[in-house]
Structure 1
Amino acid sequence: MAAVEIESVECVSLSDGIEDEEEIQSSSHPHNNHHSSSKPHSVAPAGIGPTSVHELLECPVCTNSMYPPIHQCHNGHTLCSTCKTRVHNRCPTCRQELGDIRCLALEKVAESLNLPCKYLSLGCSEIFPYYSKLKHEAVCNFRPYNCPYAGSECAVTGDIPYLVAHLRDDHKVDMHTGCTFNHRYVKSNPREVENATWMLTVFNCFGQYFCLHFEAFQLGMAPVYMAFLRFMGDENDARNYSYSLEVGANGRKLIWEGTPRSIRDSHRKVRDSHDGLVIQRNMALFFSGGERKELKLRVTGRIWKEQQNPDAGVCIPNLSS
């Protein structure tokens, strides 16, 4: 079992405008923007009540909006195609056999509707034709984020302030303010890598949050070690930042520079893409002193913000303190 020690964390900001971490967390109570279940009001054809139309298009089994094919039983009760299989072809309302009857009239009604995104309460003000809404919601920037904690199958979702509080309170993750860091990773037996060993620290930098991961995992027949950074936000915003990681000793060092990946990308996806500082075992042991009895790696790094150059249309590093 690996032991992770934070020998020193130097929290030196490269920006004067860092928000106070407590203010960010208190500005959104964990339950304010989390798991919003408020249903949007449909924009319905004239003469039809919005609420009744929305209720007609709601599957009685899963309560989600129904999309073609919409099925009905001989008595006119409807349900979505996914739930038709789940109820073993029996109507959940009257228990009659469903058969293969399509409710074409209800599908036509759905075509005439414009509905707001289901993440309206989280800030999305877009309105879409009924059949375009589902496609948008799958990529909506206001949809909740998955918990970035990599040590367990955590199913918690929410906005960034909620997840920051969740990582701190429920997963006991180390929280630091600043844009530079200095971590020390120690493992007693570097040849044993049965399970991924990871470290997660959250940094508040430039008013944003970043997750630092450090792992040992098996690649082929040999273990490798990897450090990488993820941005707690969407990919477009992640491109505004860059980071560097450095590890070394005995007159040698490895340096990685890159753009943090958004937490929209799963932890496993980032790890398997090797988008970070990757250290082969022999090099890691060399950095540790070459004794092959204990692994000791010091990972240092910093985060900086890219400044947009409006004339050239490119980003230039903003290294001002």
Structure 2
Amino acid sequence: MFMADATVSDYDLSTETMDLEQTVKPKKVTFALGVKLRVLSTRGVLDLFQCPVCSCSMYPPILQCSNGHTLCSKCKHRVNNRCPSCYHEINNIRCLALERIAQSLDFPCSYQSHGCHEIFPYYDKLRHELQCKFRPYDCPCAGSRCSVTGDISTLLAHLTNDHKVDLHVGCTFNHRYVKSNPLEVQNATWMLTVFNCFDKHFCLHFEAFELGTEPMYMAFLLFMGEEDEAKDFSYSLEVGGNHRKLIWQGVPRSIRDSHRRVRDSHDGLLIPRNLALFFSGGDQQELKLRVMGRIWKEP
């Protein structure tokens, strides 16, 4: 069984709709030769481009049934090639009129309610949303296959209430990780602790996994925010015993990076099992690792 402590604590590691005549509002009018007229779409127009199945914006090819009901191509197989509105069969008939209208429209970012007020041509909107800094974050709790997404405050409440993750205030920490049988690491186990530091939040990950055939332990820090802001901070991790010491210093990665991506890049404190047992006293019977760390803001 894995346990960890921060100061004195131990943790178990094992386990609205508008009429159509009101929908098109001119954004900019120009009579210059060769310049296309673009209009800012309103709520009614947005509804025309919303897939009735997944509720996402439809992008070409936009399909339609014989009655003119539209559907995004990705959802065709989800409804067994049957229109969700009239249940007529959906073939590969494209709604070319709707696709052409889209080329003259400007759309707000889908994350407008989260704070993004950018407006884009239809085909630029999708590319923007893939990188929009207001898009929801994935839950950083590795190993739980959790599908919860949200902003930072939502994730903090989710982590503490649903995953029972410990939240600590401070920029230094001292954790003790214990495993009664360090030889059993076939099933990777994870530990997550969240720190409130400089009015920001950081996730400390600790886990056992196998690198090839060699059992390893790894600790690393993730920043709960965007990558450009994460670069304002640095952190160090230190583990040791038997008068030896191993130190790691780096920059926290954003939680936009998946846990697996960070782990597989080895961007953190890596401790081979044999070395971990040596730090633990060398009796090969029990893992006793004390990991100390510090977070600071770069000038």
Partner of 2:281: 289
Partner of 1:248: 240
Unaligned runs of 5+ in 1: 10-37, 308-321
- For the residue of structure 1 that corresponds to 2:298, the secondary structure is strand
**Once the 2 structures are TM-superposed, how far is the Cα of residue 279 of structure 1 from its aligned partner?**
0.6
Alignment pair present for 1:230 and 2:225? no
**Once the 2 structures are TM-superposed, how far is the Cα of residue 48 of structure 1 from its aligned partner?**
10
Alignment pair present for 1:64 and 2:56? yes
- 1:78-117 matches, within 5 Å, as 78-117=70-109
Quick one: structure 1 residues 74 and 151, their matched pair in 2 at CA, closer, same or farther if it must change by over 3 Å?
closer
User: Hey, what's the Cα distance between the residues in 2 that align with 1:4 and 1:202?
Assistant: 14
Bigger Cα displacement from structure 2, 194-203 vs 226-235: 194-203
User: Hey, what's the Cα distance between the residues in 2 that align with 1:276 and 1:264?
Assistant: 16
- For the residue of structure 2 that corresponds to 1:236, the secondary structure is helix
* Greater RCO (Cα-Cα under 8 Å, separation 6 or more): 1
Partner of 2:24: 44
- Equivalent residue in structure 2 for 1:145, among 134, 137, 142: 137
Alignment pair present for 1:183 and 2:175? yes
- For the residue of structure 2 that corresponds to 1:138, the secondary structure is helix
User: Hey, what's the Cα distance between the residues in 1 that align with 2:284 and 2:113?
Assistant: 55
Bigger Cα displacement from structure 2, 230-239 vs 48-57: 48-57
Alignment check: 8 A CA contact 2:276 2:289 kept: yes
- For the residue of structure 2 that corresponds to 1:176, the secondary structure is strand
Partner of 1:123: 115
Q: Which amino acid aligns with 1:121?
A: S
Write out per-residue CA displacement over residues 276-319 of structure 1, whole angstroms, 9 at most, x where no aligned residue.
00011111111111110111111001001011xxxxxxxxxxxx
Write out per-residue CA displacement over residues 177-198 of structure 1, whole angstroms, 9 at most, x where no aligned residue.
1111111111111111121122
Quick one: structure 1 residues 7 and 194, their matched pair in 2 at CA, closer, same or farther if it must change by over 3 Å?
farther
User: Hey, what's the Cα distance between the residues in 1 that align with 2:70 and 2:190?
Assistant: 48
Q: Structure 2-normalised TM-score?
A: 0.86
**Once the 2 structures are TM-superposed, how far is the Cα of residue 218 of structure 1 from its aligned partner?**
1.6
Unaligned runs of 5+ in 2: 10-15, 27-38
Partner of 1:154: 146
Runs of 4+ in 1 over 4 A off after TM superposition: 45-49
**Once the 2 structures are TM-superposed, how far is the Cα of residue 49 of structure 1 from its aligned partner?**
8.3
Partner of 1:207: 199
User: Hey, what's the Cα distance between the residues in 2 that align with 1:48 and 1:136?
Assistant: 17
Q: Which amino acid aligns with 1:293?
A: Q
- For the residue of structure 1 that corresponds to 2:77, the secondary structure is helix
Partner of 1:273: 265
User: Hey, what's the Cα distance between the residues in 1 that align with 2:153 and 2:197?
Assistant: 14
- For the residue of structure 2 that corresponds to 1:242, the secondary structure is strand
User: Hey, what's the Cα distance between the residues in 2 that align with 1:230 and 1:43?
Assistant: 44
User: Hey, what's the Cα distance between the residues in 2 that align with 1:65 and 1:114?
Assistant: 13
Q: Structure 1-normalised TM-score?
A: 0.81
What is the root-mean-square deviation of aligned Cα atoms in Å?
A: 2.2
Partner of 1:6: 6
User: Hey, what's the Cα distance between the residues in 2 that align with 1:68 and 1:147?
Assistant: 31
Partner of 2:162: 170
User: Hey, what's the Cα distance between the residues in 2 that align with 1:51 and 1:120?
Assistant: 13
**Once the 2 structures are TM-superposed, how far is the Cα of residue 94 of structure 1 from its aligned partner?**
2.7
User: Hey, what's the Cα distance between the residues in 2 that align with 1:174 and 1:101?
Assistant: 54
Alignment check: 8 A CA contact 2:41 2:107 kept: no
Alignment check: 8 A CA contact 1:215 1:226 kept: yes
Alignment check: 8 A CA contact 2:7 2:173 kept: no
**Once the 2 structures are TM-superposed, how far is the Cα of residue 43 of structure 1 from its aligned partner?**
7.8
**Once the 2 structures are TM-superposed, how far is the Cα of residue 110 of structure 1 from its aligned partner?**
1.0
Alignment check: 8 A CA contact 1:211 1:229 kept: yes
